[in-house]
Amino acid sequence: MIFDSKIIYNKKISENFYHLKLKIKKNLVPLPGQFVNILIDDSCDIFLRRPFSIFNYENEKLEIVYKVIGKATKILSSKKKGETINFLGFLGNSYLDFISNNDNTSNDIILLGGGTGIASLNFLCQWLKNKKYKFTLLYGAKTKKEIFFLKNFKKFNTIFTTDDGSYGNKGFITHYLEKIVNNNSLIFACGPEPMLLTIKNLELKNKIYASFESYMGCGFGVCLSCVIKVKTDNNGFEYKRVCKEGPVFDLNSVILEKD
Amino acid sequence: MEINTTVKIGKLILKNPVMPASGTFGYGLEYKNFFNLSELGAIVTKGLSIIPVKGNKPQRLIETSSGILNSIGLQNIGVENFINEKLPELKKYKIPIIVNIYGKTIDEYIRVAERLSEVNIDAIEINISCPNVKKGGIQFASDKKAIKKLLYNIKKIYTRTIIVKLSPNINPVEDIAILCEEYGADSVSLINTLQGLAIDIIKRRPVLSNIYGGLSGPAIKPIALAMVHKVYKKVKIPVIGIGGIMTYKDAIEFLIAGATAIQIGSANFRDPLTCIKVIDGIKNFMKLNKIDDINLLIGTLNY
């Protein structure tokens, strides 16, 4: 589905991070883990759309949190209240595809968000909270400056870590995962590939689902750019589309670059 | 004002000259939630081979100035899976289906064409020019004997419309077009992507795992237009123009240069409604300029 949505606000929240809020008029509701593919520029200078995970959705308002890292995100950050953003949505599968109804009787859902990966997990946290699931969030960032919406995340049962110890615990969230995990824990992760690899290498017996990033051409399954290797039964692999079969995959089924 | 937008490509009758380019439209059905596929002049599928192909290792695609560079490696589900899983639904749209085909050997091309003949596919577009696979591809596109043998054999088993998709990486492209006409192709489509390279300056490595990729998008439009015009002047069979079409204006440039129909490629990724917008744009342009038959535009470049 193609959306043309008005910007409610697009504001800087910390050094390179922005918070974009859009008014959604269509009768469609996104699920945690899904993403949108935004048309950045009317000229062909930025030819492809750019995918962003959904930070939150409430009362027909869609929120995205993004980091300015290049030309496209710089242009996005210059857009003002009242301007219209064209995007494709709501794309991909959802974390919810892997949560069953009886999971809310246990208190063993663990979420790991590294860096900007926290954005898509926030939406999942909101959902879990609304449905009265119990969960623990592990939120890791490089420094205190890169932790955004601190107050928001303090509302949840959150363990913070920073690489330099400038806020919360010093070190990586994967270290804390080992401390709190038990046999029944259901784990969701979103973050850079080295983080996912570290989680994988812990060789936990738990079900672990991770949201992946990949270079996308279209975002709706036709260009076959964003594929990742997923194991098949016969010890082989097949390429699956992050935009279509994903972005959330069973972590242990994915063959990572440095595996 | 009544306007006629019908064009003929071989035995195919297209109600308008607009179709997607192979590789940018999946198997067609991926776009059914964006618009009514019946509006298209025809559907062109992703390139199909006799057995499924995994494709190249990522990274497979990178944005470049006004375009994209790709080396997907012809990943596809294979002709049998297409026939069983995609074709029944695709046929419901009642528009011509053009299946793009390729093989690593002449025999593989023939086997795919044979299967498509059995299920009454309206037309095949033979890819002799994908630069992104190590075997086949470029060797085929430049090997006149191989093209001759390929067309001769395919025509024996496939009697509907045969389109040959030409590579811009072989010069001069009109020589290959003349050859295709001589050996019985009903049409030629051009251009496929131009070979290109993108480099990561920190790692000093190619961005794409396949090293080279195919460049497409608005960046290649003037090159495509020139090649379409040159080929149009040399052959009598209809030419299908491809290369960087984003708007109806681009499409009309191709028609004036000599294309009977056009294909829209990379633009579909940016705006999935491009084909529909181009169809509407062409119709409006014709009305505004009092052109009642689209065929009156084709090959009318004044110089």
Domains and CATH numbers, chain B: 7-55+73-195+218-296 (3.20.20.70)
Say if A2-91 and A95-255 have the same CATH topology.
Answer: no
- Write down the pLDDT at residue A217: 97
- Residue in B34, B58, B67 closest to A47 by CB: B67
Which of chain B's residues have a Cβ under 8 Å away from the Cβ of A47? Answer: 63-64, 66-68, 217-218, 266, 270
- Sequence-separated (6 or more) residues with CB below 8 Å from residue A130: none
Min Cα separation A222/chain B (Å): 5
Read off the pLDDT band of A145 (50, 70, 90).
confident
Predicted confidence (pLDDT) at residue B104 exceeds the cutoff of 90: no
Q: Dig out the tokens for A174 from the structure.
A: 């994967």
Q: What is the mean pLDDT of residues A181-201?
A: 93
Which of chain B's residues have a Cβ under 8 Å away from the Cβ of A88? Answer: 272
Q: With CB atoms and an 8 Å threshold, state whether B270 touches A227.
A: no
Min Cα separation B234/chain A (Å): 33
Q: Is B59 on the interface with A (CB under 8 A)?
A: yes
Q: In the predicted model, what is the mean pLDDT of chain B?
A: 94
Q: Is B55 on the interface with A (CB under 8 A)?
A: yes
Q: Is B273 on the interface with A (CB under 8 A)?
A: yes
Q: Show the beta-strand stretches assigned E in A115-203.
A: 135-141, 158-162, 169-170, 186-190
Predicted confidence (pLDDT) at residue A258 exceeds the cutoff of 90: no
**What is the distance between the alpha carbons of residues B76 and A238, in angstroms, rounded to a whole number?**
12
- Sequence-separated (6 or more) residues with CB below 8 Å from residue B143: none
Which contiguous run of DSSP H or E holds residue B206?
strand B205-206
Residue-wise pLDDT tens digits, B34-90: 999 999 999 999 999 999 999 999 999 999 999 999 999 999 999 999 999 999 999
B279 closest CA partner among B39, B90, B42: B39
Helix (H, G, I), strand (E, B) or coil at B184: coil
- Write down the pLDDT at residue A14: 85
Q: At what angle do helices B173-182 and B221-234 cross, to 10 degrees?
A: 40
- Write down the pLDDT at residue B43: 97
**What is the distance between the alpha carbons of residues A240 and A238, in angstroms, rounded to a whole number?**
6
Q: With CB atoms and an 8 Å threshold, state whether B70 touches A225.
A: yes
Class (C level, CATH) for A95-255:
alpha beta
Task: Please give the positions of B annotated as active site.
Answer: 130
B23 closest CA partner among B96, B129, B122: B129
Helix (H, G, I), strand (E, B) or coil at A42: coil
Residue type, B37: L
Q: With CB atoms and an 8 Å threshold, state whether A223 touches B62.
A: no
**What is the distance between the alpha carbons of residues B54 and B50, in angstroms, rounded to a whole number?**
13
| Of B205 and A108, the one with more pLDDT | B205
- Write down the pLDDT at residue A197: 95
What was the ipTM of the complex prediction?
A: 0.94
Read off the pLDDT band of B91 (50, 70, 90).
very high
Which of chain A's residues have a Cβ under 8 Å away from the Cβ of B266? Answer: 47
**What is the distance between the alpha carbons of residues B227 and B230, in angstroms, rounded to a whole number?**
5
Q: Which residue on chain B is closest to A42 by alpha carbon? A: B270
Predicted confidence (pLDDT) at residue A104 exceeds the cutoff of 80: no
**What is the distance between the alpha carbons of residues A110 and A185, in angstroms, rounded to a whole number?**
7
Q: With CB atoms and an 8 Å threshold, state whether B70 touches A223.
A: yes
Q: With CB atoms and an 8 Å threshold, state whether B269 touches A2.
A: no
- Write down the pLDDT at residue A83: 97
Counting residues of chain A whose pLDDT is more than 90, the rounded percentage is: 78
Helix (H, G, I), strand (E, B) or coil at B100: strand
Q: What is the mean pLDDT of residues A235-258?
A: 94
Q: Which residue's structure tokens are 């959705």?
A: A57
For chain A, the domains span: 2-91, 95-255
- Residue in A2, A217, A239 closest to B61 by CB: A217
Radius of gyration (Cα) for chain B, nearest Å?
Answer: 18
Q: What is the mean pLDDT of residues A174-190?
A: 91
- Write down the pLDDT at residue A150: 86
**What is the distance between the alpha carbons of residues A133 and A186, in angstroms, rounded to a whole number?**
12
Q: For A54-68, A100-114, A153-167, B283-297, which range has the lowest pLDDT when averaged over its residues?
A: A100-114
- Sequence-separated (6 or more) residues with CB below 8 Å from residue A45: A71, B65, B66
Suggest the residue from A224, A226, A239 to mutate for an interface test with chain B (most B CBs closer than 10 A). Answer: A224
Min Cα separation B225/chain A (Å): 19
- Residue in A2, A217, A225 closest to B34 by CB: A2
Read off the pLDDT band of B29 (50, 70, 90).
very high
**What is the distance between the alpha carbons of residues A85 and A39, in angstroms, rounded to a whole number?**
7
- Write down the pLDDT at residue B142: 73
**What is the distance between the alpha carbons of residues B208 and B186, in angstroms, rounded to a whole number?**
35
Min Cα separation A218/chain B (Å): 4
Q: For A138-147, B117-126, B160-169, B259-268, which range has the lowest pLDDT when averaged over its residues?
A: A138-147
Residue-wise pLDDT tens digits, A6-46: 999 999 998 889 999 999 987 899 999 999 999 999 888 89
Topology at the third CATH level for domain A2-91 = Elongation Factor Tu (Ef-tu); domain 3 (2.40.30)
Predicted confidence (pLDDT) at residue B130 exceeds the cutoff of 60: no
Q: Residues 152-211, chain B: which have Cβ within 8 Å of A?
A: none
Q: With CB atoms and an 8 Å threshold, state whether A239 touches B54.
A: yes
Of A101-110, A123-132, B223-232, which has the strongest mean pLDDT? Answer: B223-232
Read off the pLDDT band of B137 (50, 70, 90).
low
**What is the distance between the alpha carbons of residues A161 and A175, in angstroms, rounded to a whole number?**
10
Read off the pLDDT band of B1 (50, 70, 90).
confident
Min Cα separation B67/chain A (Å): 6
Predicted confidence (pLDDT) at residue B258 exceeds the cutoff of 80: yes
